[in-house]
């Protein structure tokens, strides 16, 4: 009995354990490990599990199952595989609930196991879709690519979306293999990844002539070579052109996300920012006076900056004559709630604000895509009765901006600001109908400590640069801060949990990519091709 047969014929708890472990192994393809061949284990096992569902895996042999029953069996196998993948890939989410353990530790199981259990439903649905167009032989590789490609796309949109750690990140985490994202985006990379990493399952197939079927397995390896070769070719055209006259400084304060970050420590925090921002880094850059734009990370202040005239004045004096500050800051907006005099409603926004010398705020961007349960609680009126509340210390949570728009920063090309979580959504990194000159990602990953989370977040933000053909400037409280060019190459970076400043020029943007012009067509064509090839194989086999 071959290894493939042992998986195909498994049943009961052994089958569930195989699915879970195969999914968990695939998480090694994600940052920070980036061992992309690990996804071979996940995808090849997926093929054999669905094969077993088609025939009805039993210890006493094979028997055919109806389409309905085998689709349900495939969905169950897919759920266990997805559960293993997401538990291994998202375990670090529990760290955020340990920052204030006395209030939130009870929610750790819901983050570490509950969210993966929900996300695994998409993987299970993908297995069921694949089963509908499943056939013996090479065509089943395309069936799996269609099923998982479709449901990973759905995962990016259902209930505001959560495309974190899509299977395509096995390619997206490698700058050479990620280059097709300029044409097909993350969801297209996912379809390519499934075909590449599932195709070797065909090496174990025995054809009707009694010989092994090598063709599809070799096709998958050739496709991997084509992706790598195409990526290397595209990178060979990369230049080091910069936007003239722009000297960036990113400040990474490395403040712990604990009780020290509160208004009582306002003076200490501000002095830390100012001292670090004015650090000499070279004979050419002896302090903040030698840079044009100083950048601080998301939610840099434990108070409302726009309402603190003394702090604004102090920052304005610090900036000197020609430096502008771009910083994350909470913003408050009051509006009349009723007819009574003095009856006001207050809305809070997670914002990016631009300060000119003198301390005047001259531009603001409000975050539009908020983090559920982090920045607001869905169905708050119901869930608050069960003690559920958001993590941020904002009364009622943040409000979302009604639309995304470019941020105007003097001396820079039009800026597409991405506050933290907004950087993970392919096709949504730039405002509709606008072509900015750079992506600016301000974030605070201090919630997650020295875990996989910050590395995964940075890799996804970097993939947006490749998709859009735009440079990425990233300021993170605890790291990873970086300047990335329009091909996804990291020019300068600061590692995790380091207090420092980073000086860099601004890479020049590329002409718009195929994906930036049309983020739908590329993934749709690949998904349609996978479905068509799977359906043709099914017809021929029947």
Residue tagged 């061992």 (tokens): 35
Give the length of the chain.
542
Q: Which of 146, 198, 196 is nearest to 536 (CA)?
A: 146
Distances (CA, A) of 228 to 180, 190, 232: 9, 15, 6
**3-class secondary structure, 33:** coil
Cite the DSSP H helix spans in 384-509: 453-468
Cα gap 239→231, rounded to integer Å: 15
**3-class secondary structure, 238:** coil
Cα gap 207→281, rounded to integer Å: 65
117 CB-near residues (< 8 Å, 6+ apart): 83
Work out the widest C-alpha separation in the chain, in whole angstroms.
88
Task: Considering the candidates 298, 422, 467, 468, report the single residue annotated as catalytic.
Answer: 298
Terminal-residue alpha carbon distance, the chain: 27
Task: Considering the candidates 367, 399, 422, 468, report the single residue annotated as catalytic.
Answer: 367
Q: Which two tokens stand for residue 247?
A: 């000297």
Query: Is 420 tagged catalytic?
Result: yes
Cα gap 79→63, rounded to integer Å: 23
HSE of 510 in the Cβ direction (CA atoms, 13 Å)? 26
Q: Which two tokens stand for residue 159?
A: 């209930």
Exposure pattern of 68-105 as b/e (b: 16+ CB <10 Å)? eebbbbbbbbbbbbbbbbbbbbbbbbbbbbebeeeebe
DSSP state of 371: P
Cα gap 444→334, rounded to integer Å: 26
Q: Cβ distance 332 to 316 under 8 Å?
A: no
The edge-to-edge listing of strands for the beta sheet with 324-336 is 361-366, 344-355, 324-336, 293-295, 248-252, 500-504
Task: Considering the candidates 152, 375, 399, 420, report the single residue annotated as catalytic.
Answer: 420
Beta bridge partners of 274: none
Residue tagged 């068509």 (tokens): 532
Backbone angles phi, psi at 58, to 5 degrees: -135, 155
What is the secondary structure of 300-331 as a DSSP string?
A: --SS-GGG-HHHHHHHHHHTTTT-EEEEEEEE
The angle, 0 to 180 degrees and rounded to 10, between the axes of the packed helices 67-90 and 39-55 is 160
Residue tagged 């266990």 (tokens): 80
**3-class secondary structure, 412:** coil
Query: Is 367 tagged catalytic?
Result: yes
Q: Which two tokens stand for residue 119?
A: 């996300």
Residues annotated as catalytic (active site), given as ranges? 298, 367, 420
């Amino acid at each position: 009995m071959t290894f493939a047969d042992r998986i195909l014929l498994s049943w009961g708890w052994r089958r569930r354990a195989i699915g879970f472990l195969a999914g968990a192994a695939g998480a090694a393809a994600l940052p920070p490990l980036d061992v992309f061949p690990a996804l071979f284990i996940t995808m090849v096992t997926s093929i054999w599990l669905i094969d077993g569902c088609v025939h009805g895996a039993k210890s006493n042999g094979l028997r055919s199952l109806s389409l309905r029953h085998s689709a349900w069996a495939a969905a169950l196998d897919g759920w266990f595989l997805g559960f293993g993948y997401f538990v291994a890939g998202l375990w670090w989410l529990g760290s955020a609930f340990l920052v204030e353990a006395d209030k939130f530790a009870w929610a750790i199981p819901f983050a570490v196991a509950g969210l993966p259990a929900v996300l695994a439903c998409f993987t299970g649905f993908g297995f069921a879709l694949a089963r509908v167009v499943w056939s013996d032989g090479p065509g089943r590789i395309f069936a799996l690519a269609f099923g998982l490609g479709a449901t990973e796309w759905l995962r990016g949109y259902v209930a505001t979306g959560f495309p974190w750690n899509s299977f395509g990140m096995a390619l997206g985490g490698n700058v050479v293999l990620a280059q097709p994202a300029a044409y097909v985006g993350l969801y297209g990379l996912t379809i390519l990844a499934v075909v590449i990493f599932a195709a070797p399952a065909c090496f174990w197939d025995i054809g009707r002539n009694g010989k092994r079927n090598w063709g599809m397995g070799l096709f998958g390896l050739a496709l991997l070579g084509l992706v790598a070769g195409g990526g290397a070719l595209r990178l060979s055209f990369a230049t080091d052109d910069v936007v003239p006259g722009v000297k960036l400084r990113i400040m990474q304060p490395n403040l712990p996300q604990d009780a020290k970050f509160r208004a009582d420590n306002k003076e200490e925090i501000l002095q830390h920012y100012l001292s670090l921002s004015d650090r000499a880094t070279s004979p050419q850059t002896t302090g903040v006076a030698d840079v044009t734009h100083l950048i601080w990370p998301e939610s840099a202040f434990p108070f409302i900056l726009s309402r603190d005239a003394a702090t604004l004045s102090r920052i304005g004096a610090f900036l000197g004559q020609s430096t502008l500050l771009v910083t994350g800051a909470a913003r408050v907006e009051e509006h009349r709630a009723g007819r009574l005099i003095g009856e006001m409603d207050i809305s809070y926004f997670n914002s990016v604000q631009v300060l000119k010398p003198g301390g005047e705020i001259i531009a603001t961007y409000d975050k539009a895509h908020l983090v559920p349960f982090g920045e607001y609680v869905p169905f708050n009126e119901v869930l608050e009765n069960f003690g559920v509340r958001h993590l941020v210390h904002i009364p009622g949570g943040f409000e979302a901006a009604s639309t995304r728009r470019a941020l105007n920063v003097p001396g820079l090309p039009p800026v597409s600001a991405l506050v933290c979580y907004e950087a993970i959504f392919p096709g949504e990194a730039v405002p509709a109908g606008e072509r900015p000159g750079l992506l600016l990602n301000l974030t605070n990953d201090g919630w997650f400590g020295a875990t996989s989370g910050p590395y995964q977040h940075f890799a996804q933000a970097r993939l947006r640069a490749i998709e859009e053909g735009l440079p990425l400037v990233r300021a993170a409280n605890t790291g990873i801060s970086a300047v990335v060019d329009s091909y996804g190459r990291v020019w300068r970076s600061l590692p995790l949990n380091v207090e420092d400043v980073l000086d860099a020029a601004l890479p020049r943007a590329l002409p718009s990519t195929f994906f930036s012009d049309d983020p739908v067509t590329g993934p749709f064509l690949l998904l349609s091709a996978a479905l068509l090839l799977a359906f043709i194989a099914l017809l021929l086999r029947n």
